[in-house]
A and B are shown apart, each in its own frame.
Chain A
Amino acid sequence: MPRYQARVLVHLRPSVLDPAGEAARAAASRLGVDGVERLRIGKAVELELEASDEAAARRSLELLSDRLLANPVIENWTLELTQS
C-alpha cells in the first residue's frame, strides 16, 4: 500500500477576529520589528497515511479536515499531499 505524507493548514476565516494574532503582532513591534501589518495564527497538522492511491488518500484527508481538524464555521483549510 503506498504511503503518503500530508500537511493540513487550518486558518481562521478572514471574517473571524484573531485576538491571539493581534497580541503577537503587538509583541513583534515591542521586539523592534516594525512594519508587520497583519499576523494571523493558524495550525499545521502533519500526517502520514497509507492509501490505495492518491485519490483515496485525498478523500480521507478531505473528510478528516472538514469533520475534525477544522471547524468550517470559523476556519478554512488547505491540503498539501505527497507520496513518500
Chain B
Amino acid sequence: MSIGVVVFPGSNCDRDVRWATEGCLGMPTRYLWHEERDLSGLDAIVLPGGFSYGDYLRCGAIARFAPVLESLLSFVSAGGRVLGICNGFQVLTELGLLPGALTRNRDLHFICEDTPLSVVSGRTPWLSSCGGGRRFSLPIAHGEGRYQCSDDTLKQLQDDDAIALRYCSNPNGSVSDIAGITNASGSVLGLMPHPERACDPQTGGTAGRAILEALLS
C-alpha cells in the first residue's frame, strides 16, 4: 500500500505531506513529478498545496493539463482515493472532478491561521472516524479559498451528502461556509485547510491525522 504525492512546478506543501504521511504516520509515500503518467502500485494520490505553475491564469488552470492528471482521471474512475489540499482542491475543481470553483477571499487578505471546522458528513472514509457534528481546528493558508458554486450545484452537494467540512466562523466568504467537499462516491476529497500541517505533535496539533490515515484505510 502506498501513496503518491504529485509535485507540480510551484507546489510547496509536497514535502510537508510526505513528512506527515511517511514521517509521522509510517505510510509508504513517493513523489510523482507532474510529467509522470505511471500510477501503478499506488493506492492513493495527494495533490498538495502551493502555487502550481505560478497560479497563472487562475489557480489550478494550467496544472489541470499536466500529464499526471490525465492518468489521475482513470485512477479515479477505477475507484482510487484522491485528496486535494488547498491548491490541490483548486486543481480538482478546474479538472472537473469536484464541482464549483475557488475564488479570491471576500476580504482580499491572504489568511494564515488555525480555523475551527465542523464535520458535516461522516459518510466517507475521510471523516468517518470523526463522526458528523464533531469539531476540530486545522490551519488554513490561502488567498483564494472562497468556495463558489451555483444554487443548483449547492443543492446537488447537499443531496449527495457531499459537503464534508464547514468553517465554524467563515473566514473567506465561501458559499454555505464550505471548507471541503467530496465527489458523490466519496473517493475524492478536496479541502482548503491543511491536515498535513496538523500531524506532528512537535509543530502543532494532530487533528489532521485522521484525514491522512484515510488515504490507505
Nearest-neighbor residue (CB-CB) of B108 within chain A: A19
Query: Does B107 make an interface contact (CB < 8 A)?
Result: yes
Residues of B within 8 A of A33 (CB): none
Interface flag for B12 (CB, 8 Å): no
Q: How far does the Cβ of A22 sit from chain B's closest Cβ, in whole Å?
A: 9
Q: Counting CB contacts under 8 A, is A78 at the interface?
A: no
Chain B residues whose C-beta falls within 8 Å of the C-beta of A23 in the assembled complex = 108
Task: Count residues on chain B whose CB falls below 8 Å from chain A CBs.
Answer: 20
Q: Indicate if A71 sits at the interface (CB-CB under 8 A).
A: yes
Q: Which residue, of A16, A68, A73, has the highest number of chain B Cβ atoms within 10 A?
A: A73
Residues A17 and B173 in contact in the complex (CB < 8 Å), given A71-B101, A74-B103: yes
Q: Judging by beta carbons under 8 Å apart, are B106 and A71 in contact? A: no
Nearest CB in chain A: distance from B124 CB, A: 23
Q: Given A16-B148, A74-B101, A74-B103 in contact, is the A69-B108 Cβ separation under 8 Å?
A: no
How far apart sit A17 and B100, CA to CA, in the bound complex (Å)? 14
Contact in complex: A19, B149 (CB < 8 Å): no
A residues less than 8 Å from B100 (CB atoms): 73
Most buried by A among B94, B99, B103: B103
Contact yes or no, A74 B104, CB < 8 A: no
Q: Separation in Å of the B154 CB from the closest CB of chain A?
A: 12
Are A19 and B57 also in contact (CB < 8 A) when A73-B93, A73-B149, A74-B101 are? Answer: no
Cα(A20)–Cα(B173), bound, Å: 14
Contact between chains at B107 and A73 (CB < 8 Å): no
Contact between B107 and A19, CB atoms less than 8 A apart: yes
- The reply on B97 being an interface residue by CB < 8 A is no
Residues from 45 to 84 in A contacting B, C-beta threshold 8 Å = 68-69, 71, 73-74
Task: List, sorted by A's number, 13 A–B pairs whose CB atoms are closer than 8 Å.
Answer: A16-B103, A16-B148, A17-B103, A19-B104, A19-B107, A19-B108, A19-B173, A20-B104, A71-B101, A73-B99, A73-B100, A73-B149, A74-B148
A residues lining the B interface (CB < 8 Å): 16-17, 19-20, 23, 68-69, 71, 73-74
Excluding A20-B108, A73-B99, 20 further A-B contacts by CB distance (< 8 Å) are: A16-B103, A17-B103, A17-B106, A17-B173, A19-B104, A19-B105, A19-B106, A19-B107, A19-B173, A20-B104, A23-B108, A68-B57, A68-B61, A71-B61, A71-B101, A73-B93, A73-B100, A73-B149, A74-B103, A74-B148
